[in-house]
Amino acid sequence: MSSSSPGPADRRAEIDLDAVRSNVRHIARIASPAKVMAVVKADAYGHGAVPVARAALEAGAAWLGVAHISEAVALRDAEIDAPLLAWLHTPASDFAAGIENSVDLGVSGWELEHVVAAARALERPARIHLKIDTGLGRNGCPPEQWEALLRKAVEYQEAGLLRVVGIFSHLAVADEPERPETDDQVQRFRDAVAVAAELGVEVEVRHLANTPATLSRPDCHFDLVRVGLGIYGLSPFTDQTSDALGLRPAMTLTASVAGCKEVPAGQGVSYGFAYRTAERTTLGLIPVGYGDGVPRIATGAPVMVDDRCYPVVGRIAMDQLVIDFGVAGLADTDQSPLGHRAVLFGGNGAPSAEAWAAASHSINYEVVTRISSRVPRIYLHEAADDD
């Protein structure tokens, strides 16, 4: 454990900003000469957008990325002035706020007219990144409309209303590196970039890769890689751990053991009595539940207390869950774990976010991102050590 860690810990998500810095440096080496965009949408996947953005920039990230303009404006309000892209809009989005705050705007089609109207009203050119749909089927311009979109953008650029700063796209199956569809997406991206070049559009950055493509496909790096999961130290691959990838999980979710009691065989545990003890045993009460973003379906997931892992038993409730220590004779002795530190997932030998993902039929992305604002974030190593 790190030296700056816990005094009494009720419930907390510890965010190790040194882990974030180390992950960013590691990814920057892999991506070089491409630059790194640290993706800090969704409050930095639950880690806290402002502190993570600062740590990522300290460690060499050149850009920041978010989904919504509102997320970008919140970073600007925190006086973060790095290049910043927001790519998911609705007709109700505040494009003017984006332009006024020097936020680059992703444009897939319809957004162009809205962005231009805002730029005209502000008398200030927008900075845009045109997005091509190379196959994912979410936003992005369909290939058959790409040339028309480029031509319109060039017209507006010549009128001084915008500058086309980038061209980008997003991958669908890069977490399964053996799948051939990524090759198709790369080819369509190259084609889209070529069409832009033919029309005389000179962009600063072409970007396609997410975390898995950054780690597994150098041919996807182009000028910039957009990395979310990796900077949080988690693996996008089912067959490779964080450790194997040289990454350190940044979030550790902990709570103090709130109760410890001995129960007889046949004791029902939690709502519905979905679990009954097989023999006399000791139960531990952990004060986190789905109100804290812990998945309700994750029964069976591991919780570590005093360096050993115990399973969550019975239903997870809004505020609490129960673990079975599997032995009698602990409660009300000096071996009682009451008040001890329980770790649900994290780094440094804790159970993994992947174990919780498996227990919840989900992915590590969701496990960390859904930890709610009810859980205080405690930042470790806020100041970068000079080393």
Ligand X SMILES: *Cc1c(COP(=O)(O)O)cnc(C)c1O
**Is 321 a binder of ligand X (CB under 6 A)?**
no
Pairing of strands 321-324, 281-286: antiparallel
Which lies closer to ligand X via its Cβ, residue 168 or residue 345? 168
Which lies closer to ligand X via its Cβ, residue 39 or residue 105? 39
Question: Minimum distance between the CB of residue 95 and ligand X, rounded to whole angstroms?
Answer: 18
Lookup: tokens for 116: 């231009």
Q: Tell me the angle at which helices 17-31 and 49-58 cross, rounded to the nearest 10 degrees.
A: 50
Which of 216, 210, 244 lies closest to 230, judged by CA? 210
Residues 106, 31, 58: CA angle, nearest 5 degrees:
80
Q: Tell me the angle at which helices 69-77 and 49-58 cross, rounded to the nearest 10 degrees.
A: 70
Question: Minimum distance between the CB of residue 57 and ligand X, rounded to whole angstroms?
Answer: 17
Size of interface with ligand X, in residues (CB under 6 A) = 12
* Cα dist from 293 to 40, 231, 256, 275, 290, whole Å: 19, 21, 17, 22, 5
**Is 227 a binder of ligand X (CB under 6 A)?**
yes
Among 135, 166, 228, 284, binds ligand X (CB under 6 A): 228
Question: Minimum distance between the CB of residue 92 and ligand X, rounded to whole angstroms?
Answer: 20
Question: Minimum distance between the CB of residue 286 and ligand X, rounded to whole angstroms?
Answer: 28
Among 23, 101, 211, 256, binds ligand X (CB under 6 A): 211
Distance CA 80, CA 73 (A): 10
Which range binds ligand X by CB under 6 A, 54-62, 197-205, 228-236, 253-261? 228-236
**Is 170 a binder of ligand X (CB under 6 A)?**
yes
Q: Which residue is nearest to ligand X (CB)?
A: 228
Lookup: tokens for 19: 């882990």
Question: Minimum distance between the CB of residue 158 and ligand X, rounded to whole angstroms?
Answer: 28
Binding to ligand X (CB under 6 A) within 37-96 occurs at 39, 41, 87
Q: Are 253 and 346 in contact (CB under 8 A)?
A: yes
Q: Tell me the angle at which helices 111-122 and 143-158 cross, rounded to the nearest 10 degrees.
A: 10
Distance CA 370, CA 363 (A): 11
Which lies closer to ligand X via its Cβ, residue 229 or residue 313? 229
Which lies closer to ligand X via its Cβ, residue 54 or residue 170? 170
Binding to ligand X by CB under 6 A, coded x per residue (else -) over 236-265, reads x-----------------------------
Which lies closer to ligand X via its Cβ, residue 9 or residue 171? 171
Lookup: tokens for 361: 């039929």
Active site residue 271: yes
Which range binds ligand X by CB under 6 A, 51-59, 198-206, 225-233, 285-293? 225-233
Active site residue 152: no
Coil vs helix vs strand at 360:
coil
Lookup: tokens for 325: 């220590």
Contacts of 144 (CB under 8 A, 6+ apart): none
Candidate list 35, 41, 45, 310, residue with the active-site label: 41
Render 98-143 in DSSP notation, one character per residue: HHHTT-EEEESSTHHHHHHHHHHHHTS-EEEEEEB-SS--SSSB-H
Question: Minimum distance between the CB of residue 30 and ligand X, rounded to whole angstroms?
Answer: 13
Among 186, 229, 303, 375, binds ligand X (CB under 6 A): 229
Question: Minimum distance between the CB of residue 120 and ligand X, rounded to whole angstroms?
Answer: 27
Question: Minimum distance between the CB of residue 340 and ligand X, rounded to whole angstroms?
Answer: 33
Which lies closer to ligand X via its Cβ, residue 67 or residue 258? 67
**Is 226 a binder of ligand X (CB under 6 A)?**
yes
Coil vs helix vs strand at 178:
coil
Which range binds ligand X by CB under 6 A, 223-231, 272-280, 290-298, 332-340? 223-231
Which lies closer to ligand X via its Cβ, residue 174 or residue 344? 174
Distance CA 16, CA 348 (A): 11
Which lies closer to ligand X via its Cβ, residue 17 or residue 27? 27
Sheet architecture: strand order including 308-313: 259-263, 281-286, 321-324, 308-313, 302-305, 341-345, 251-256, 11-16, 377-380
List interacting residues with ligand X (CB under 6 A).
39, 41, 87, 170, 210-211, 226-230, 236
Q: Name the residues annotated as catalytic.
A: 41, 271
